[in-house]
Amino acid sequence: MALVNSTMLSLGTKAPEFQLPDAVSGETISLDTFAGKQGLLVMFICRHCPFVKHVQGELAKLGKDYADANIGMVAISANDADNYPDDAPDKLKEMAQELGFTFPFCHD
């Protein structure tokens, strides 16, 4: 059960602004990073989740398959690295590099 309630936004609502560090490049990623794209796929994932482990190879493939499309992609891990050390930024960077992610993998 989630500790924080989610707020459901109506379909078509513009995504809220964010500024998060990319665990791989160290660059700050925001909505402006994807300006001009026809869409943006935002994936909330983490390193230790068994469901993510099951699909992480396909996520990497998806990034490669759509690299030349006009679609932005970003993965965000919002886990507390103190409670989940595998989700620390250096571990996210390791995961992204091992899998060959072609999209930013941010830590919130």
Global confidence as pTM: 0.89
When pLDDT is averaged across residues 16-43 and rounded to a whole number, the result is 96
pLDDT tens string 55-70: 999 999 999 999 999 9
When pLDDT is averaged across residues 6-11 and rounded to a whole number, the result is 84
Handedness of CA 98, 99, 100, 102 (dihedral sign): negative
What residues does each domain of the chain span? 19-107
Burial grade of 10 (CB within 10 A; 0-12, 13-18, 19 or more): exposed
Query: Domain 19-107 sits in which CATH superfamily?
Result: Glutaredoxin (3.40.30.10)
